[in-house]
Amino acid sequence: MDLNDSAKKATASATPNSPVFCTIIPPHILDNLAQSDDPARHEPARRTLEHDHVRRTLRREIAARGLTPGEPDAGADKPNRTIYDAEHRAHLPGKKVRSESDGPSQDASVNRAHAGLGATFELYLKIYGRKSIDGAGLPLNATVHYGEKYDNAFWDGERMVFGDGDNDLFRDFTIPVDVIGHELTHGVTQYTANLDYQGQSGALNESVSDVFGTLIKQYALGQTAEQADWLIGADLLGPNVTGTALRSMKAPGTAYDDDVLGKDPQPAAMKDYVHTTDDNGGVHINSGIPNHAFYLFATAVGGKAWERAGQVWYDVLTGGNLAKDAQFADFAALTIAAAHARFGAGEHEAAVKAWTQVGITPK
């Protein structure tokens, strides 16, 4: 069995209650790359799949210890960031290269990781009153320069980890701030709703990370919903890729169409829902449906998406009523109720319309 088959088997065999290692590059993209006839392209993909398989096992061991928020201390309203350098090896955390009190590094990857952690911390604190990932001031650690031409980034339950990419299809993974926000939001989800990483609940898990990843980007840029590009990882694709990003929330299925990566498989509505055993039931694929619903809701409401649309999603994620195995219809019902409770009839109507447009009838 080759690495591609091994990765598929490991992903497909995960149960709903298994804590799963989450990466920004979906397995179906790496699977396509691993089958390339060009060694310069398939070798980085196969190494990445192999590393991800190992880290997935370690991730389960970390998650088994539990994720219980601590008690906020006096400094919990300020980020506490530490950046490490793996020095192109597959070991963590690596060499400590920057702490919170240090000035900028000469390494651009270190500085971008530091800034991205800060941007994520800032949105959650200033907009939603959340003190770091756990709500209690959890220190934010990150490792850069992981592995050799490692084509991924991930949150492993303890830290963010960034590959440098292969400089062909993928660039340095510290570049897009929405990628950093996406992965750290998996941590927020673990400390709150802890959505099962399987099927529709897993797609919701991925979608929530995309939602807050794009909100972190929009907040950092000061963009309104109308000004935003609604792309995830727009700065990540290399010069030899035919595409604009990893995913599009505005138009799922249009982010890329490349001879090597394949075509973006995300559906925008339930009529095109993809039934598959790969990728824990297509969690990276079918997340396009709730992603599009959020885009429709945010643009209908207008203004700055983090203020009203994002607040509704945050209320549902942290409200205690979202079941671990929630389906799209369950999430839709909760967001509709939250929109009315928080803002009133106008936002309620916009939420109903958004979910209806993607073919979901709330329970």
Q: Give catalytic residue positions.
A: 183, 284
- Give me the half-sphere count of Cα atoms (radius 13 Å) on the Cβ side of residue 169: 26
* Residue 38 C-alpha from the chain's centroid: 29
Q: How far apart are CA 185 and CA 319, in angstroms?
A: 16
Are 179 and 22 contacting, i.e. CB atoms less than 8 angstroms apart? Answer: no
**Burial of 85 (C-beta count, 10 Å sphere; 0-12/13-18/19+):** buried
Amino acid at 246: L
User: What is the Cα–Cα distance from 289 to 280, expressed in whole angstroms?
Assistant: 16
Location of structure tokens 């109507």: 349
* Residue 126 neighbours by CB distance under 10 Å: 12
Question: How far apart are alpha carbons 311 and 81 in whole angstroms?
Answer: 26
Encoding tokens for residue 310? 């994002």
What are the residues whose beta carbons fall under 8 Å from the beta carbon of 26, sequence distance 6 or more?
246, 279, 284, 285
CA–CA distance, 80 with 64 (Å, rounded to integer) = 25
Of residues 160, 177, 255, the one with CA closest to residue 215: 177
Report d(CA 198, CA 288) in Å as an integer: 15
Measured N-to-C along each axis, helices 328-342 and 345-357 cross at an angle, to the nearest 10 degrees, of 160
Separation of alpha carbons 134 and 320, rounded Å: 15
Query: Please, which residues bridge with residue 342 across strands?
Result: none
Region at 19 (left for phi over 0; alpha for psi -120 to 50; beta for the rest): beta
How does 248-276 read in b/e, with b if 16+ C-beta sit within 10 Å? bbbbbbbbbebebbeebbbbbeeebbbee
